[in-house]
Amino acid sequence: MTSSIFSVSQLNKFKISLPLAKNSANWRHWWIYVGLGLALSISISGNLCAADLKFSESEPGEPGVGWQNSPFLKSEIPLITSWGDPNDEEKEPKNLLPPPIDAQYTIAPGDTLRQVLAKFDIGRIETARVIKSLSKTFKPRNLRPGHRLILQIQSPLPPETQKKLVSIDFTADAKTDIAVIRDGRGDFVAQRHNRELGRRLAYGEGIITSSLYQAGTDEGIPARALINMIKVFSFDVDFQRDIQQNDEFALFYERLTDETGTIAEIGPVIFARLKLRRREVKLYRFKLKKGEIDYFDNQGRSVKKFLLSTPTDGARISSGFGRRRHPILGYSKLHKGIDFAAPRGTPVYAAGNGIIEIAKRYGSYGNYVRIRHKNHYKTAYAHLKGFGPGIKSGIRVRQRRVIGYIGSTGRSTGPHLHYEVIYKNRHVNPRGVRIPTGIQLAGKEYKRFKAERKKIDRSMIVLRKKNATDTKIDNY
């Protein structure tokens, strides 16, 4: 194939036609033939050049791969693939979510987690997923008034309208933080974090003018520490009859503090002293070799007795044991127990270990519990508002378990506890009965106790010399 304008065959045609043209009568016709031939030659040559350009890069037996493979175009003409900056990557527009909203909510009486999330427009299905996840770590029904919830909530993009929960966290108690977090897959995961609490020792003392509770709070002693002290002495001291004006008290106890030094929880009583008008009682906390913890006096005698002297806290004796004029019936009748007046709903404790014989409505006694103890003793509790969790006939209970709550059911003029002690099937005066005492330390156990007692005494002396109310704990 050649790219010249005139081929050999074309020239031969002109040589043959030339003499014919010369012999023609009209010479102008010859030039017309020459012009037509020249135009035809140019047209054929242009087509041949285009074909040469198109197929010049094809391999034998392979169809042409198009104008893109031309060496001229490759070396001289860049291909345009984008009308913008060639260094810019093509970006698709994205719908960006707004940042999550932070919110807080304090649990009020009657609130449930389901109701709280509904207030923040969290859907029912999502709420059910949150509750299911939380239940693996913390029971939602244990949320109490005062619990503060911290929430993160994601608002949706149109056309969606349902908000989504990102996270929720709260402090369950002084030692535990709880969180529920949405993970990358959209699932909710519950987490528990146990706080590190520091243990500190605290000491307080004072003179009683009206009540132990009032005197203690006046000295800056937390209410919970005073309640613990009252429980320690509840086996041996009647706080309504034995406490008099100008009696003295002292209390050595633990405080659990968080990282800021704020009191998170009140720990156990280490030592407690009551100097009463006729006697002085000192009690030390001591852990027995078997692991049981109890309180002992100076001689190593356990304060724990067979039965509590008072089966409820903070109550006053409103009626004693013996014959009296019945306030409802109007005639004289043997009062077979002691009445303790206290606010409705005050917890009532089992006076000692035993088995519940009766736990039901029982005539004029109203809601009634009777417990059978060893050594032929029984105790009875009447006019209860209701029974404690799990309390029923036939179960075994330990001393100080809540068996009911003070009320006014049955034949009663107001909220109070009617308490009876029965010995060998005869009613006896709860205040006059000689109750068996607890254990007496001896031998190596008593030596261990004396060493512990000295350690506690030294620690209290150090605190008093420093004129400090508390100090960091160092094994006393």
In 3D space, the residue among 75, 77, 83, 51 whose CA is nearest the CA of residue 64 turns out to be 51
* Confidence band of 168 (pLDDT split at 50, 70, 90): very high
Mean pLDDT, rounded, of the chain:
79
pLDDT at 149: 95
Predicted TM-score of the model (pTM): 0.57
- Between 69 and 405, the more confident residue is 405
- Between 110 and 162, the more confident residue is 110
* Confidence band of 92 (pLDDT split at 50, 70, 90): low
Q: What is the CATH number of the domain that holds 400?
A: 2.70.70.10
Q: Is residue 297 part of a domain?
A: yes
pLDDT at 19: 45
pLDDT above 50 for 266: yes
Q: Are residues 232 and 292 in the same domain?
A: yes
Q: What is the CATH number of the domain that holds 156?
A: 3.10.450.350
Q: Are residues 185 and 240 in the same domain?
A: no
Written as six digits, the tokens of 153 are 């909530």
pLDDT above 90 for 182: yes
pLDDT at 296: 94
Mean pLDDT (whole number) for 456-475: 72
pLDDT at 391: 96
**Between 27-55 and 8-22, two packed helices, what is the crossing angle to 10 degrees?**
170
d(CA 345, CA 387): 10
The CA-based angle 303-231-257, given to 5 degrees, is: 115
pLDDT above 90 for 377: yes
Q: Are residues 12 and 155 in the same domain?
A: no
Q: Are residues 444 and 300 in the same domain?
A: yes
d(CA 473, CA 78): 83
How many domains does the chain divide into? 4
- Between 2 and 322, the more confident residue is 322
d(CA 470, CA 476): 12
d(CA 268, CA 287): 12
pLDDT at 248: 94
171 CB burial (10 A radius; 0-12, 13-18, 19+)? middle
pLDDT digits (tens, 9 = 90+) for 229-250: 988 887 778 776 778 889 999 9
pLDDT digits (tens, 9 = 90+) for 424-446: 989 988 877 777 667 889 999 99
d(CA 42, CA 105): 92
- Between 326 and 220, the more confident residue is 220
Q: Is residue 77 part of a domain?
A: no
Q: Are residues 421 and 330 in the same domain?
A: yes
Q: Is residue 158 part of a domain?
A: yes
99 prior amide bond cis, ω within 30: no
φ, ψ for residue 391 (rounded to 5)? -80, 125
Q: What percent of the chain has pLDDT over 90?
A: 44
Q: Are residues 150 and 125 in the same domain?
A: yes
Q: Are residues 413 and 444 in the same domain?
A: no
Q: Are residues 338 and 361 in the same domain?
A: yes
pLDDT digits (tens, 9 = 90+) for 362-376: 998 999 999 999 889
Residues 6+ apart with CB under 8 A from 23: none
d(CA 290, CA 154): 55
Q: Is residue 107 part of a domain?
A: yes
First to last CA, the chain: 113
Q: Are residues 162 and 218 in the same domain?
A: no
Per the CB < 8 A criterion, the answer to whether 384 and 407 are in contact is yes
pLDDT at 114: 94
Q: Are residues 393 and 462 in the same domain?
A: no
Q: Is residue 120 part of a domain?
A: yes
Q: Is residue 249 part of a domain?
A: yes
Q: Is residue 347 part of a domain?
A: yes
Structural domain containing residue 445 = 201-305+438-476
